[in-house]
Structure 1
Amino acid sequence: MATPDSPAASPERIDDIDVTQEMEVSYVDYALSVIHSRALPDARDGLKPVQRRILYQMSEMGLVPTHGHVKSSRVVGEVMGKLHPHGDSAIYDALVRMASPDIMRVPLVDGHGNFGSLDDGPAAARYTEARLAPPALLMVENLDEDLVEMVPNYDAQFMQPSVLPAAYPNLIVNGSSGIAVGMATNLAPHNPGEAIDAACHLLDHPDATVSDIMRFLPGPDLPSGGYIVGLTGVREAYETGRGSFTMRAKAEIGRVSARKMGITVTELPYMVGPEMVMEKIKEAVTAKKITGISAANDFTDRKNGLKLVIDVKTGFDPEAVLAQLYKHTPLETNFGINNVVLIGNQPQTLGIIPLLRAYLDHRISVLTRRSAYRLQKAQDRLHLVEGLIIAILDIDEVISVIRTSDDTDSARTRLMQVFDLSKLQADHILELRLRRLTKYSQIELEAERDQLQESIAALKRLLADPVLLRQQVATELREARAQVDTTRRTVLLEADGSTGSRRSPGPAEIADEPCRVVLSALGRIARTDPAAEAATADAGGSAPSVPRRRAHDAISAVVATSTRADVLAITSRGRALRLDVVGLPHMPSASIQLGGAPTVEAYLGLDRTKEKVVGLIDALGQDPLALGTSRGVVKRVVPDWPDKPDFEVITLKPGDFVVSATLAPDGSELVFVSAHGQLLHFPSQLVRPQGRAAGGMT
């Protein structure tokens, strides 16, 4: 062995390299590698290399929807060992994203197990399982028909597709995001049905404008649903490739308990998780940026889906609280569109029409290659079938030639000479077993020949006519449309550029002003507007006019109270239900009709056929409550009301129910009228006030 001191040792070599030049070259190489091989999607199939390799390898493993799930770690290992020589975590993260319905408008992987959420990561790959989702088959279908260029893998031992066939515009449907060196991309998801309709329209009308396309593709369709407020930024992005739009959660204001008004959130902006929202609400309340919230709870589960319930304090306007939530939490956020994609390995920023054209050009190329492949296969098969027909016509002579030949080469030569066959036809006959050759039917072979000739003629017409090619592309796009979910999830709202978070929400806390709560005989309930009360007082202090009522209706109770007080609704079952006055629908004036107001039973969630409200009193009143029942029981209740949303004011006997409830101070009289027109009246003090649990007297 040579040593450094021996003559055979190689001399020491030191090369002087300019650091600046080396850094420039190395950095450019690294940047191009990230751009081409990691961060940016291809405009044709909408996939990054790691996503494409995962789908291709899973299809090679036979992990179709009808196949059972396999361990995700097995998929990761196959992809890493054969196609993607990078870390297993990058492969698994890409697999998880393609399985997430929160991220993908059309998931491509069917995951089994804990694949995580927007707030929490997935379980390790050894604990989860995966297979291809049905839409993924549309991405990889017919790869064995030379649809795309196949390129060597990293060590030239395997071949992989440079792009997938993609039977639907996956880039526009599922969007993409990534950060490269010096650039980034962020494409919004869209509705698959709308994207396909837009692509078909562009096929039929190559000169279509953005306005034309937006008739079919009006805006993004986010996996999480919610609202998109304002389409100006969407149009800008469709025209230039850059723009932004506002996403807003779906929130409903309503009663979250018997006495509490609140806000229920059922859909969030794209890529916003419920835990993030709850954390931001807590921070905003602590920092006093948001007022009027008494509690916020996350009731999200797998069975019922997303549900965030935010309780609003009594005396606060839920609309104003919601506006604060939009302003200070991720319930309203922006999505920045930056359509940077690879076109021929070159990053470009494209609007919606160039993106659709890139995809359609790809599909035309795929269809052309597939048609050429099928044409060649049909021609090859026709050539063999014609040879078989010749052989079948004189099968005995064919068998005799084969038997009397010395070897295969001589048999081939003699068949070619005697029957005027080509080498391929002769070899095909020789490769067949004798029993198969003799069982061939001339009629069946001639029928196959005729069918092949028709197919060849149709394929030649298709390849020769660009119009037919485009029509076939449109037909296959519509077939793909029928195989994916096309229900729109996101509601598009036109706006003048201002959203709820930008408008002044007004004061969240409602002033404690005088008002009146009105109950009609048909159960309609509403409160008067404080401004109307003030106007009435300024006019002379007389009581405001009684609200006009619907036909066949009458005013059964009017309670003078204030906007931040409570009233008690007495029901036929002897219960008192507490109502926040501020939560009741208000009338703009003191004389508006009650026809549009809700029934108090519907407001309280009662079944009017089983229990209805028979009276309304002020919760802070000091006068006893008088009750009358259908069986002639009368009771006066001591006005000591517990601070509960629901409590009993009388113990009823079976079959009995309350028919009337009103305040009865000492000195007043109680009047009972029977169904037969008989009347009974007596001083109220004859009925001694009792506790809530008492049953009254007859």
Structure 2
Amino acid sequence: NFGSMDGDSPAAMRYTEARMKKITDEVMADIDKETIDWTLNFDDTIPEPTVLPTKIPLLLVNGASGIAVGMATNMAPHNLCEVVDACCAYIDNPEIECEELLQYVKGPDFPTGGLIYGYDGVREALLTGRGRVMMRARTEIEHTASGRECIVITEIPYMVNKAEMIKKIADLINDKKIEGISYINDESDRNGLRIIIILKQDAVASVVLNTLYKNTPLQTSFAVNNIALVKGRPMLLNLRELIRHFVEHRHDVVVRRTRFDLRKAEERLHIVQGLLIAQDNIDEIVHIIRSSQTPDAAKERMMERFGLSDLQSAAIIDMRLRALTGLERGKLDAEREELEKRIAYFREVLASRDEQMRVIREELIEMKEKYGDERRTEIIYASEEFNPEDFYADEDMVITMSHMGYIKRTPLAEYRTQHRGGVGVKGSATRDEDFIEHIYVASMHATMMFFTEKGRCYWLKVYDIPEGTRSSKGRAIQNLIQIEPDDKVRAYINCKRLNDPEYVNDNFIIMCTKDGTIKKTKLEAYSRPRQNGVNAIVIR
């Protein structure tokens, strides 16, 4: 057991046994063919490889994280198919720009799935080597048998501890930081992850979900910092540089492997040629061996008689009697032909860089066909920061304003329908000399525009007006908008949407002053809210 997403700690080393996956063979392939350099380990007892001869761009595919003194690194995992496609594109055109590689590598691909929310951070990470990737859990909204809405979480962000996440949500519910959740349960089993959050009867699922994203690890970020050692020096690498260094490493491995294979083939061919000479002159060879006092003397005589090398004559002396049959003779001829073909091929590869690149490309495509899989992490390209409207259901509110400038909003539902004989409900508390001047109904996502005595206009979202009970007097409007102390709100307008070009160009605001000046302006002129207001009309 190597630990789990529930925060279980790994088992002690004596209980831990690992069976590598098939893909490990490709990471270690050709390690015995002098393809890489070896060095002694920490106590000089065993040699270990300085780097693996991997056929797979392991650093990009697997990711890595490390902390060193003043040198942290945090690399995200990527999809094997996408990375191989990018490597092939680089091999075909080494001048390719990093920007062009983004059409192959879309972004990180986390083993735990989930969503990447927003593309700007991903793009920055791939182009510069540093960036912040926003990750979100994958959620669905379902209904229980009783008809209540519930949020079902099926994938959580990479490296998030599931047990801690559930505890955090439970704490927020207990502390009344998140409203609208009645029950949370972990139904995960060996078939997959499943966390169920059952909502209260009147809760709006999308509002609760956005609150969870903001306050819990259901949304978390991955800070990419691609620092890797290049020839022993730490460097910050972007996508193109990571691919370039991998292709260069692979090129080195292929050249060294081919040299090794060529040497071994030539050595074997040399022996086979000696055995074939012995086959042709077997009677004489047998006579030399029988009439020699020692094997060394026999070797000397054979080397003189047939011009053989030391290795060839040693191989002939070690030859078994069965090698004299016709079948064995045919095998040796076939082996010689095969070796000659292989030697010609190895020399051809070593002579041409294009041929070496073709070998690398073919091996990469083979890896993709063997081990490639679909993307697990979905990328949602268009995303903004949290929109405050996501946290409030679009319900109707009653807005009351008093003569002295106190304002509040109360849910319309609090003013129930009154039947015969009803005594009404108190709408608002006021100070003795104050009285209610305006009452207005507006929906939670609407924008209120306030026009003051001095001819200025201010904006306020309905959800930014403090909520009060029926019996409270509300907040002074000076605390909410930057209105001058001697100024006073005279009129206001409720506007549903200021970001719709058609709507703001087809509607007008008409103002009339006490002395009879009248003015009509397109709503478009008031469609860009400013913190400290704008001049709406000049009061002479």
- The total of aligned residue pairs comes to 402
The within-5 A match list for 1:244-393 is: 244-302=132-190, 304-393=191-280
The CA distance in 1 between the partners of 2:388 and 2:8, in whole Å, is 34
3-state DSSP of counterpart to 1:486: coil
- Could you tell me which runs of 5 or more consecutive residues in structure 2 were left unpaired when the two chains were aligned: 396-410, 415-440, 444-540
Contact 2:208 2:391 in 1 (8 A): no
Aligned residue number for residue 505 of structure 1:
390
The within-5 A match list for 1:232-631 is: 232-302=120-190, 304-436=191-323, 441-496=328-383, 498-499=384-385, 501-508=386-393
The CA distance in 1 between the partners of 2:27 and 2:227, in whole Å, is 21
RMSD: 2.2
Aligned residue number for residue 151 of structure 1:
39
The CA distance in 1 between the partners of 2:35 and 2:388, in whole Å, is 54
Q: Are residues 126 and 441 of structure 1, via their aligned partners in 2, closer, same or farther at CA, if it must alter by over 3 Å?
A: closer
Contact 1:186 1:339 in 2 (8 A): yes
The CA distance in 2 between the partners of 1:118 and 1:145, in whole Å, is 43
Contact 1:189 1:222 in 2 (8 A): yes
Following superposition, the deviation at residue 439 of structure 1 comes to 6.5
Contact 1:116 1:123 in 2 (8 A): no
2:119 to 224, 231, 235: 231
Contact 1:174 1:189 in 2 (8 A): yes
Q: Deviations over 1:587-642 (max 9, x none)?
A: xxxxxxxxxxxxxxxxxxxxxxxxxxxxxxxxxxxxxxxxxxxxxxxxxxxxxxxx
Following superposition, the deviation at residue 509 of structure 1 comes to 9.1
3-state DSSP of counterpart to 1:371: helix
Q: Deviations over 1:629-663 (max 9, x none)?
A: xxxxxxxxxxxxxxxxxxxxxxxxxxxxxxxxxxx
The CA distance in 2 between the partners of 1:307 and 1:151, in whole Å, is 47
| Higher RCO (CA 8 Å, separation ≥ 6 residues) | 2
3-state DSSP of counterpart to 2:152: strand
Following superposition, the deviation at residue 213 of structure 1 comes to 0.9
Following superposition, the deviation at residue 203 of structure 1 comes to 0.8
Q: Are residues 377 and 166 of structure 1, via their aligned partners in 2, closer, same or farther at CA, if it must alter by over 3 Å?
A: same
Following superposition, the deviation at residue 170 of structure 1 comes to 0.7
Aligned residue number for residue 201 of structure 1:
89
Following superposition, the deviation at residue 114 of structure 1 comes to 6.9
The within-5 A match list for 1:144-223 is: 144-223=32-111
Following superposition, the deviation at residue 276 of structure 1 comes to 1.9
Letter in 2 for 1:287: D
Following superposition, the deviation at residue 483 of structure 1 comes to 2.4
Q: Deviations over 1:72-113 (max 9, x none)?
A: xxxxxxxxxxxxxxxxxxxxxxxxxxxxxxxxxxxxxxxxx5
The CA distance in 1 between the partners of 2:43 and 2:287, in whole Å, is 52
The CA distance in 2 between the partners of 1:490 and 1:227, in whole Å, is 5
Contact 1:395 1:438 in 2 (8 A): no
Letter in 2 for 1:376: R
Following superposition, the deviation at residue 115 of structure 1 comes to 4.4
Contact 2:107 2:122 in 1 (8 A): yes
1:136 to 19, 24, 36: 24
Contact 1:261 1:312 in 2 (8 A): yes
The CA distance in 2 between the partners of 1:342 and 1:204, in whole Å, is 26
Following superposition, the deviation at residue 341 of structure 1 comes to 0.6
Contact 2:226 2:238 in 1 (8 A): yes
2:8 to 120, 129, 154: 120
Q: Deviations over 1:381-429 (max 9, x none)?
A: 1111111111101111111111111212211111111111111111111
The percent identity for this pair of structures is 40
Following superposition, the deviation at residue 179 of structure 1 comes to 0.8
Contact 1:327 1:502 in 2 (8 A): no
TM-score by length of 1: 0.55
3-state DSSP of counterpart to 1:163: coil
Letter in 2 for 1:288: K
Q: Are residues 487 and 152 of structure 1, via their aligned partners in 2, closer, same or farther at CA, if it must alter by over 3 Å?
A: same
The CA distance in 2 between the partners of 1:156 and 1:281, in whole Å, is 51
3-state DSSP of counterpart to 1:441: helix
Letter in 1 for 2:8: D
Letter in 2 for 1:230: G
The CA distance in 2 between the partners of 1:439 and 1:261, in whole Å, is 83
Contact 1:228 1:493 in 2 (8 A): yes
Q: Are residues 253 and 513 of structure 1, via their aligned partners in 2, closer, same or farther at CA, if it must alter by over 3 Å?
A: farther
Q: Deviations over 1:547-577 (max 9, x none)?
A: xxxxxxxxxxxxxxxxxxxxxxxxxxxxxxx
- Could you tell me which runs of 5 or more consecutive residues in structure 1 were left unpaired when the two chains were aligned: 1-112, 515-529, 533-698
3-state DSSP of counterpart to 2:389: coil
